[in-house]
Structure formats: C-alpha cells, structure tokens
Amino acid sequence: MKKIAFKVNGVARSYSGNPDMPLLWYLRDELHLTGTKFGCGKGLCGACTVHLDGEAVRSCITSMKSVAGKKIVTIEGLSAKGDHPLQKAWKELSVPQCGYCQSGQLMQGAALLKEKPKPTDQEIDDAMQGNICRCGTYERIREGIKQAAGVKS
Amino acid sequence: MSYVLRISRRGFLKTAFSAGALILCARVFPGKALDALAAEEWYPGVYLGIEPDGTVIIVAHRSEMGTGIRTALPMVAADELDADWARVRVVQAIGDPKYGDQNTDGSKSIRDFYAPLRQAGATARLMLERAAAATWGVPAAECRARNHQVVHAGGRTVGFGELVVRAAKQPIPGKDELRFKTPADFRYIGKGVPIVDFDDICTGKGIYGIDARMPGMVYASIERSPVLGGRLTSYDDKEARKVKGVLRTVTIEAAQPPYGFQALGGIAVIATSSWAALRGRQKLKVAWEPGANAGYESESFRTTLLETVRRPQKVVRSIGDVDAVFARGGTIREAEYYVPHLAHATMEPPAAVAEYKNGKVTAWAATQNPQAVQDAVAKAVGIAKQDVICHVTLLGGGFGRKSKPDYVVEAALLSKKVGKPVHVTWSREDDIRHDYYHTVSAMYLKAATDAQGRPTAWLQRCAFPPIPSTFDDSVRYGGDGELAQGWVDVPFDIPNLRAENGPAQSHVRVGWLRSVANIYHAFAVQSFIDELAAAAGRDRIEYFLDVLGRPRTIDFKAEGTKYANYGKPLDQYPWETGRLRRVIEVVAEKSGWAKRKPEKGRALGFAAHRSFFSYLAVVVDVQMDEQGRISIPRVDVAVDAGRVVHPERVRAQFEGAAVFGASLALMGEITAAQGRIQQSNFDDYPVARIGEAPKETHVHIVPSDGLPTGVGEPGVPPIAPALCNALFAITGKRIRQLPINKTKLT
Ligand code: FES
Ligand code: FES
C-alpha cells in the first residue's frame, strides 16, 4: 500500500494502512495519543478536535489519506510545558469538570485565537458551538478564552 | 502522577507506598501482608499513609467524574492532619467492600465521608504529635502539628517524615481521644485547593476508561438487540471477518429479565484496533427475534400513563380530606404534565478494559461503582467477588450511567472467551440506544383554591416505570426512594393534601439519571404552583412563600407518611421549610426579582426545591425572539448545602446543573417505536451547546454550619420548571410536556 507521510506534533510519521481510517483512531490506537477523545464519530461533538496545518478539524471524520503532507497538532503537542495561554487560563479559572471534552475545547479555542486574537463573545460562541460539554462548563470556557486573549469581561 | 498505576500488574499497594511508610487503615486493600498493619475497625474506608520523606498519601475511594471529589475528600483529611497540600499525593482506590460504600452516586460522597476523613486526619495527627512528644520527652499536649511538622511549645520542630518510624509504633488512638479542628483553624475546608487532575486534563494526559490499555489487549465493538430482550436468531460474519484487523466474532448470551447489571448480549467483533472493530461490525448481517418489548411505542405509552394518573391510585401521603373539599366545588384547577425518557449521553461513552486470566479478572473501568463491577463481573464469569480487581480511571461524565457496570461485564465475558484483555468502547449510537434511560412519567395535579387563590386542597398523582423494576421485573409502583424525591415531601402548608402513585411497566432499562425522580416531580409541582399563583394574579415568589407557610419542620411521622429521606434519619436531616424560605429570599434579592420591569420577549421564572438534603431556589432569566428562539441570559441559584468543603467546585456543580437542566428542558427526549429507540447520536438527541446554555449562572451559597449535603444533583430539578414558568410569563402559554421544543410558542 502507498505510504502516507505527515507530521504529528513535530515528528515525521508515515502510515500505510487503510487510507479511509479516520485520523482519530490512528492517533489513539497507533500512536497512543489518547488525549484526543472519541465522542460521537460523526463530527457532531468536537471531542476529537486537532489542528491540521493550524486549522481545527474533527479527527473522527478526517481520513488518513487527507492528511498526506500535513502537520497535525494534538492536545499533547499544543504547548511544550502545558503552558499555552488557554491551558493556563483553564487552570486559573478551573474550567474543566470531568475534563473529557476539554482537549477538544482547548484545541478549538487555540485555533480561534490564532485566527482572531481578540474575539468577541459572539465570535467565541460561534467558534465553540460545535464542541459539546455535557458537564456544562461553557460559561468558564468563554471566560477562559477571554482571559487568554486578554479581553475584558 | 500517581494515576499511572494503570498498567501495573503488581500489587496495588506496593506501588503506592514504600516499605517504611506509616500506613493507617490498611484494611482498605486486599492482601495479607498489609492486613498486619490494619487499624481499628472504626475507619470506614479511609486510607492515609505517610512516607519517610514526608509525602502524605491519601487514597481517594470515590470516583472522579467531574465533581472534584478525588481532590475534595483527600483535602478534608489533609486539613485535619495539618498537612501541606503540596506534599500530598492522591492515589485512586480499587473496588473493595472493606472500604465501605464506593458507589459515587446519590450526591453523598462529602455527606457520608466528611466525618470519616476528618477522623483519619485527626488520628494521624495525634499519632505524630505523640511520637514527637516521645522523641523530645515532653507532654504530648505541648506538641501541635502545623503545616507538615510538629511544633513544640518551646519552639522545636520536626517534620512528619522524620516521625514516621516512631509514629507507626504508636497505638491507634481511640475515637474519644481525637481532637478536631474548629472551623477557624481550617486550612483547606471551606476554601478549596487546586484540582489534582487539572494538569493532566489540560495536557491530554488524563486517563479515562476509553484510554485504559492492557498489554496484548484487543478491541471489541458489540452489536446488541435493537429491542430490549431480543434474541440473536442468526448472523453472518463472513464480510466482517474479511475486514483487515478483525480477528473473530464472539456471541454474548442474551440477558434475561430482570436485566440488572447483566451484559445485554449480542455479537462482538474482536479486532486489533477500534476502527477495525467498528468497521467489521458494520458488515455483520444479524437477525433478531425482537421479543416481548417489540410493542413498545412511547407515544401511546404516554397516553397510557396519562390515563393512569387521571384515575385514583395508591395513596402515598394523605393529610385532611381532599375529596370533601373538592366535593364542595368552588375554584378548581387541574393540570397534567409529562416528562419523556432521557439518555445520560456522558461525553465519554461507557468504556472499560478487562482481562480474565487464571480464574481472576482485572479491569480498568470508567465506573462510578467499582464494587458493583466486582459483583456483576464475578457473577457473569463465575468467580468469587474478591477475584475481581477493578481499577477506577477518570470518568468522562457519569450522571448515574456509570454506576451500572454492564459494559465492564461485557469486557470480562469477552476476555474469558478470547483469552486476551478486551477493551469495550460503546459507540455513541450504542450509548443512546442501549442506555439505562431516565424513566418516562406523567403527573396529574388538582387544587381547590380560596378567595386569595391559596390552595385549600391539593391532589397529585404520578406514574412512571420504576427503577426497582430493572432489578425485579414484577415491580410496577414507584419505590419509596423515588417517591421521596419531591413527591411525598411537597412542603406546602395545605390543610388537605394527598399524593398518589400509579403502576407502570418498563419496556426499556431504566436507571438513575442526575437527580432522578426529582426531575419530573419538581417539574410538575413547581409548574403547578406557578399556575395557581398566575391564576390568583399574585407575585410568584410572594405566593410560593405564602403557601409554604411559617418555618416548620415537616413531621412526616405525625402525619403518618412514609418518607425515605434519602436513606437518612429525619432527626439528623430534617425537612425544614425555613431553610427553603431562606434560599428563596436570597435568590429573590440576588436576581433582582422585585425590581424587574416587564419587558417584551423577556421574563424571569422561579422554582424552589429540596433534594439530597440541599435547599435550592432558582430564578431563570429567559429571552424569546420573534421566531420563538429561546436564550437564557442568566440563572441565579441560591443554595443551602450545609457546610461547603470546596466552594469553587460546588459553584461548578451548580453551573453545570443549570446547563444540564436547561438541556433536558429545552431539547431532551428519547422515544421508542416498535421497541426500538429512535435516537442515535447528538444530531437526533441534541444536548445544550454553548449557544443554548445559560450564558451566566450566579451561584449564591448560603453560609451554613449544618451537615454537608448533596451538590452534584440538586441543581438540576428546579431548572426545567423555572424555565417553563418564565416562558409562560413571556408567552402566556403553559408548557406541560417536556421538552419545550415540542410546543410551538409563537
Ligand atoms: S468524535 Fe469527532 S466530532 Fe465527536
Ligand atoms: S468537562 Fe465533562 S464534558 Fe466537558
């Protein structure tokens, strides 16, 4: 089978399995990067969000063949020391509850801040609408993004 | 951190402690060597040790699903020990009955273990103080533990770690010798510490059930009967086995009623990866004999339930003579309410890995109840309970779903057949279609009112398939526990009041969901009282307080009512209407209730409710645009939960409960046709997202020195009625059937 080459968190990787396999399962089952979560498998919940060339994508509906030549960043690679401004804000504001959705929330939030460093409340809500948190931490997610962005509440 | 014990096959304790540690209460764990260190029998499930380097190790025996309990309970022990939190390590317990109750359910972790953990801390502290006194040859009364060392009145100090050897030789002090801190001396209780799992969670290192791995494990995905109780009649797995990575298929025998915690049964595809298992499963051709529940139609069942509550039913509480008042005529109001099935939809679906080997099972599971795992797995694979070792991972949400261990049973059964550790992950579709659903319910309420609109007689009837029927399928009437959840304890001071309960049969598995029967009982009662207030043309809160009456303790015994009170004696946890009144006054003030001016498309709604011994009052600020789109700019919650141990996490629980409550009220509904659940994923079973959730939730904790009470669940029940009461104020339409999106509001 043809080899697919790409990078995950800065490390060059290649894959020669079924090209239709979603990236999510490659990350979780083959690289054991289990920070990227499964929540729905259909692009409905955002738990599996990673960055593909800097953009937030749902890894559960991103096939391996579509990542050829791309740079993938997962929650494990978001920052070297767990000190991305969002990760800091998340801890300062105690955003997580069960924490399961939070990898996806952080990756989605980080992509938003890259595109819009000073987002409005509405821009935050629009960007985060695809990320479900069943524990209901939305208010603190919004606050966390604003704190990381340095925008006043 | 210490969570990495997950793959260890060595003895759990040996990895947690070094040889020279002072260990209290070793009876928590199995293993003979450690029993030699066992403390007196009066420690229900607390485990605390100190390493010679001074590290204090505290075992969390309750499950972490987002409440912060894995931090909060150890923090209580650390406070009483006067330990430095930075030098405390939390270790998660395996399931073991020696531990006392581990079922992290019923909002009771702090309630039931606050005192035992303080005892553990106080015991260790006293032993350290005595050890220091012996070292120095001074009276123990002159020695005090302070910030991880013992300080003598004369100024000398010695670290906890240095005292370990001598302290370990101290006799365990009796309970009456212990000295407890006064609240003024608390370092952490009432203030809080950072949650121990946040670093892992924010970097993707937290290990949940879905992430647990065992060497050599394989993955399973299981096709189950679409109808509860259906049997596999034939299957063709030829195509499935052709999928690369699929190893084989394995059948699991169909569960027999009562379903309890059994594996449902079905056919599992075993593969070398999650995806191969899922793909293989899609290629299975399976035929089912649907069985007795194939006739279940939730729409017609709704009618059945409503018909049930229109007729007289079993009386579960009676004060005065309701019938005589109704017979006199006058102003009478009636209303019927309906709440559908709900699914838990935890973000992490049920997941576990288990290995059957040499007559023993080791499991790593996202479970709220590791001892139930032991029981259910032991029964299913035919071994003794103590031969099931259940390690508890983080839980990606629980809400009651993960107190039922059927998915761990599946993993264990499959491992026995396959001869390897098997990881079972439910897909979202599995989760939505095979849940232990929140039951479906109908309520009928009727009141006669006087000239002020005050009720002179009040009748309430409910019917719902009871949770006990999951464990005994002959049960039809609500359990005492269910009826105690906001039904027989309606607190209004009404001279004639009767509560009834009718029978109903279940056709799906039903189980506890965050606040359980309080959800539908509070929806009906808190809506109906609002209806009466509206009919009387009175302010809702003023009216509620009038009907609630003067502060009193409800005397269930004197009135002859059987009231389960969440399993606790009423003298210890009485039902005090004055505490409800107090939180109502607080929420009225904080929400600006009285000052609120009428506004088109926007209104406040109110509800107040006691559950799990906590008193709640909420005001929900609701907005509706011309298209009927609803938003919730603000929720105010006032709560009396007794002494609050970790205020920040308590706030978080009530914020989350407001979202959970709004979600079920606005859009939560599971339906069945021909016995099959019609929803499957977040597209057809929507839950609140950031745009639908309350934008701000303000939690007002009413200071209290009372016994700590529940906080995980009580925030949910008042939200739906408060929301509907606000919508009535906006639209004049009364919503009596959830979810709200069933009703056209414009
Ligand atoms: S798992 Fe990918 S969006 Fe839900
Ligand atoms: S923190 Fe639990 S799902 Fe978001």
With contact defined as beta carbons under 8 Å apart, do B722 and B671 qualify? no
Q: Which residue has the tokens 């490390």?
A: A11
Give the pLDDT confidence of B144-167 residue by residue, as tens digits: 999 999 999 999 999 999 998 888
Identify which of B208, B663, B681 has the shortest CB distance to residue A40.
B681
* The pair of three-digit structure tokens given for residue B24, joined into one six-digit string: 């209290």
CA within 13 Å, CB half, B694 = 32
Ligand nearest to the CA of A135: 2
What is the torsion angle, in degrees rounded to the nearest 10, for the CA atoms of residue B258, residue B263, residue B269 and residue B274? 130
- pLDDT the model gives residue B671: 98
Atom of ligand 2 nearest to the CA of B348: 3
Ligand 2 contact via A144 beta carbon (within 6 Å): no
Closest CA to B137 of B164, B166, B160, B161: B166
CB contact under 8 Å between A40 and B689, yes or no, is no
CB contact under 8 Å between B690 and A128, yes or no, is yes
Give the pLDDT confidence of B196-249 residue by residue, as tens digits: 999 999 999 999 999 999 999 999 999 999 999 999 999 999 999 999 999 999
Tell which B residues from 227 to 286 touch A, by Cβ distance under 8 Å.
Answer: 244, 273-275, 278
pLDDT-derived band of residue B22, with 50, 70 and 90 as boundaries?
A: low
* The pair of three-digit structure tokens given for residue B668, joined into one six-digit string: 């939560």
Total Cβ atoms within 10 A of residue A12 = 8
* B397 interfacial to chain A (CB closer than 8 Å): yes
Give the pLDDT confidence of A48-80 residue by residue, as tens digits: 999 999 999 999 999 999 999 999 999 999 999
* The pair of three-digit structure tokens given for residue B89, joined into one six-digit string: 């390590």
Give the whole-angstrom CA distance, residue B108 versus residue A130.
33
- pLDDT the model gives residue B4: 21
Residue B51 clears pLDDT 90, i.e. is over it:
no
Total Cβ atoms within 10 A of residue B156 = 15
Tell which B residues from 167 to 226 touch A, by Cβ distance under 8 Å.
Answer: 194-195, 197-208, 210-211, 213, 219
The CATH number that domain A85-149 falls under is 1.10.150.120
Which CATH architecture is the domain B4-202 placed in? 2-Layer Sandwich (3.30)
Helix B719-731, helix B647-667: angle, nearest 10:
50
Give the whole-angstrom CA distance, residue A98 versus residue A110.
20
- pLDDT the model gives residue A129: 98
Interface test with B, best of A9, A86, A101, A139 (most B CBs within 10 A): A139
Residue B37 clears pLDDT 50, i.e. is over it:
no
The average confidence (pLDDT) of chain B is 93
Mutate to test the pocket of ligand 1, among A40, A62, A128, A133 (most ligand atoms within 8 A of CB): A40
Residue range(s) occupied by CATH 3.30.365.10 in chain B: 4-202, 209-292+350-425, 298-342+436-742
Give the pLDDT confidence of B84-107 residue by residue, as tens digits: 999 999 999 999 887 788 999 998
Give the whole-angstrom CA distance, residue B104 versus residue B623.
36
- Give the burial class of B332: count Cβ atoms within 10 A of its Cβ; 0-12 exposed, 13-18 middle, 19 or more buried: middle
Give the whole-angstrom CA distance, residue B337 versus residue B443.
5
Instruction: Report the DSSP beta bridge partners of residue B78.
Output: none
Specify the pTM.
0.95
Q: Mean pLDDT throughout B456-477?
A: 98
Ligand 2 contact via A44 beta carbon (within 6 Å): no
Closest CA to B617 of B625, B630, B627, B607: B607
The CATH number that domain B209-292+350-425 falls under is 3.30.365.10
Give the whole-angstrom CA distance, residue A114 versus residue B29.
49
**What is the SS3 assignment for A27?**
helix
Instruction: Report the DSSP beta bridge partners of residue B144.
Output: B151
Q: How big is the CA angle at B193 (ends B188 and B197), to the nearest 5 degrees? A: 145
Q: How big is the CA angle at B432 (ends B426 and B433), to the nearest 5 degrees? A: 90
CA quadruple B342, B344, B349, B355: dihedral sign: negative
- pLDDT the model gives residue B101: 87
Q: How big is the CA angle at B410 (ends B404 and B415), to the nearest 5 degrees? A: 140
* A5 interfacial to chain B (CB closer than 8 Å): no
* B650 interfacial to chain A (CB closer than 8 Å): no
Kindly give the distance from the C-alpha atom of residue A39 to the centroid of ligand 1, in angstroms, as a whole number: 5
Give the whole-angstrom CA distance, residue B536 versus residue B25.
61
Give the whole-angstrom CA distance, residue B171 versus residue B282.
63
* The pair of three-digit structure tokens given for residue B170, joined into one six-digit string: 């101290």
Cα-only R_g, chain B? 27
Instruction: Report the DSSP beta bridge partners of residue A57.
Output: A50
Straight-line distance from the first to the last Cα atom of chain A, in angstroms, rounded to the nearest whole number: 53
Identify which of A34, A42, A106 has the shortest CB distance to residue B681.
A42
Kindly report the backbone phi and psi dihedral angles of residue B463, in degrees, each rounded to the nearest multiple of 5, phi listed first: -150, 135
Give the pLDDT confidence of B623-635 residue by residue, as tens digits: 999 999 999 999 9
Mutate to test the pocket of ligand 1, among A28, A48, A133 (most ligand atoms within 8 A of CB): A48
Identify which of A44, A76, A82 has the shortest CB distance to residue B683.
A44
Complete DSSP assignment for A107-132: HHHHHHHHH-SS--HHHHHHHHTT--
* The pair of three-digit structure tokens given for residue B528, joined into one six-digit string: 């109906």
Residue range(s) occupied by CATH 3.10.20.30 in chain A: 4-78
- pLDDT the model gives residue B19: 52
- pLDDT the model gives residue B169: 82
pLDDT-derived band of residue B21, with 50, 70 and 90 as boundaries?
A: low
pLDDT-derived band of residue A147, with 50, 70 and 90 as boundaries?
A: very high
- How many interface pairs between A and B have CB atoms less than 8 angstroms apart? 186
Atom of ligand 1 nearest to the CA of A41: 1
- Bin B354: left if φ > 0, else alpha if -120 < ψ < 50, else beta: beta
With contact defined as beta carbons under 8 Å apart, do B621 and B591 qualify? yes
Q: How far is B742 from chain A (nearest CA, A)?
A: 22
The CATH number that domain B298-342+436-742 falls under is 3.30.365.10
Set of chain B residues whose Cβ sits within 8 Å of the Cβ of A47: 347
Closest CA to A104 of A150, A81, A147, A135: A135
Q: Which amino acid is at B527?
A: S
With contact defined as beta carbons under 8 Å apart, do B216 and A43 qualify? no
Kindly give the distance from the C-alpha atom of residue B114 to the centroid of ligand 1, in angstroms, as a whole number: 38
With contact defined as beta carbons under 8 Å apart, do B118 and B77 qualify? yes
Give the whole-angstrom CA distance, residue B668 versus residue B666.
6
Strands of B519-613 (E only): list them.
602-611
Identify which of B274, B347, B694 has the shortest CB distance to residue A29.
B274
Set of chain A residues whose Cβ sits within 8 Å of the Cβ of B197: 96, 99
* The pair of three-digit structure tokens given for residue A117, joined into one six-digit string: 């460093």
Give the whole-angstrom CA distance, residue B696 versus residue A142.
10
CB contact under 8 Å between A37 and B64, yes or no, is no
Atom of ligand 1 nearest to the CA of A38: 1
pLDDT-derived band of residue A96, with 50, 70 and 90 as boundaries?
A: very high
Kindly give the distance from the C-alpha atom of residue A107 to the centroid of ligand 1, in angstroms, as a whole number: 13
Q: How many helical (H) and strand (E) elements, i.e. helices and strands, does chain B have?
A: 20, 27
| CATH homologous superfamily of A4-78 | Beta-grasp domain (3.10.20.30)
**What is the SS3 assignment for B194?**
coil
* The pair of three-digit structure tokens given for residue B128, joined into one six-digit string: 């350290």
Q: Which amino acid is at A129?
A: Q
ipTM of the complex: 0.98
* The pair of three-digit structure tokens given for residue A134, joined into one six-digit string: 């069943």
Q: Which residue has the tokens 């990895």?
A: B15
- pLDDT the model gives residue A1: 63
* A103 interfacial to chain B (CB closer than 8 Å): yes
